[in-house]
Structure 1
Amino acid sequence: MNSTELTHIAAPEGVAPGNGYSQVVTGTGRLVVISGQVALDENGELVGADDPDAQARRIFENLGRCLAAAGATFDDVVKLTYFVTDIGQLPALRAARDAHVDTARPPASSAVRVAGLFRPDVLMEVEALALTGRSDG
């Protein structure tokens, strides 16, 4: 789906605008669901132990690869969900996100602080929902 086929609503009437995300994104097409991605490389090795910036960059690289495997791009992403072990990691995620998404038409998003992820050295995880214009696989 071309990003012009998505409608981004920064703030519906009576709802405060978000910082770097749309409150609502609508569109039609084929749903693409990307599992939560962490900063593991193709060999399952962690990239950027104790480095939120490196982990965030690798997560968005992994998201890009997953989207491409589904015939989608970051322009098709309608929702990102961030899971962080420390809210102080959000600037690293925002910087990585902004390198990949159209900041004038950002996807909807949620950020959740969690007590921990599946490994103590994994600082963050991001999942994505996308809509593509193709109805074939």
Structure 2
Amino acid sequence: MNEQHPARFVNPDKLAPTFGYTHVVETTSRRTVYVSGQVAFGEQGQLIGDGDLAAQTRQVFENIAAALEAVGMAFRDVVKLTFFMTDISGMPVVREIRDQFIDTTQPPASSAVEVRRLIREELMIEIEAIAAGS
């Protein structure tokens, strides 16, 4: 852990190589923030990107950024992301957009799960986040 980030990012040699995530993130932060699963709804509750995974993903990340900003945090503080997708084969699209928001040199721990459906039929992705800071 260092002064710039209250977390230590570790990829143990005995685990498989990673691609855009970290196996273990250790934090001793006094403050942890949990962001509920975000979907592709704009400020007025309207769906953004009907049928467009890239547009929905970008909106989800923008929603997470707004949630973090509301409590004085940013994506640099995110230590865990969980992705829920209706079609996991779209993960390369999601990763490309994710990498525009996260610190790719110290990516957060991550899980991705394919689900049959989200809260509304037209939603393709939901992402929840955990952030740690002082």
Contact 1:3-1:75 within 8 A present in 2 as well: no
- In structure 2, runs of 5+ residues without a counterpart are none
Quote the Cα distance in structure 2 between the aligned partners of 1:2 and 1:59. Answer: 29
Quote the Cα distance in structure 2 between the aligned partners of 1:47 and 1:112. Answer: 22
RMSD (Å) for aligned C-alpha atoms: 1.4
Q: TM-score scaled to structure 2, two decimals?
A: 0.93
Residues 58-95 of structure 1, C-alpha deviations (whole Å, 9 max, x = no match): 00000000001111110100000000000122122111
Q: TM-score scaled to structure 1, two decimals?
A: 0.91
Quote the Cα distance in structure 2 between the aligned partners of 1:85 and 1:2. Answer: 39
Match of 2:55 in 1: 54
Aligned AA (1:103): T
- In structure 1, runs of 5+ residues without a counterpart are none
Quote the Cα distance in structure 2 between the aligned partners of 1:46 and 1:7. Answer: 37
For 1:1-137, what aligned pairs fall within 5 Å after superposition? 3-9=4-10, 11-29=11-29, 30-133=31-134
CA change 1:69–1:108 in 2 (3 A) is same
Runs of 4+ in 1 over 4 A off after TM superposition: none
CA change 1:2–1:89 in 2 (3 A) is farther
Aligned length: 132
- Compute the displacement of 1:3 (Å): 4.5
Over the matched positions of the two proteins, sequence identity in percent amounts to 45
Aligned AA (2:40): A
Quote the Cα distance in structure 2 between the aligned partners of 1:94 and 1:73. Answer: 18
CA change 1:97–1:2 in 2 (3 A) is farther
Quote the Cα distance in structure 2 between the aligned partners of 1:88 and 1:5. Answer: 33
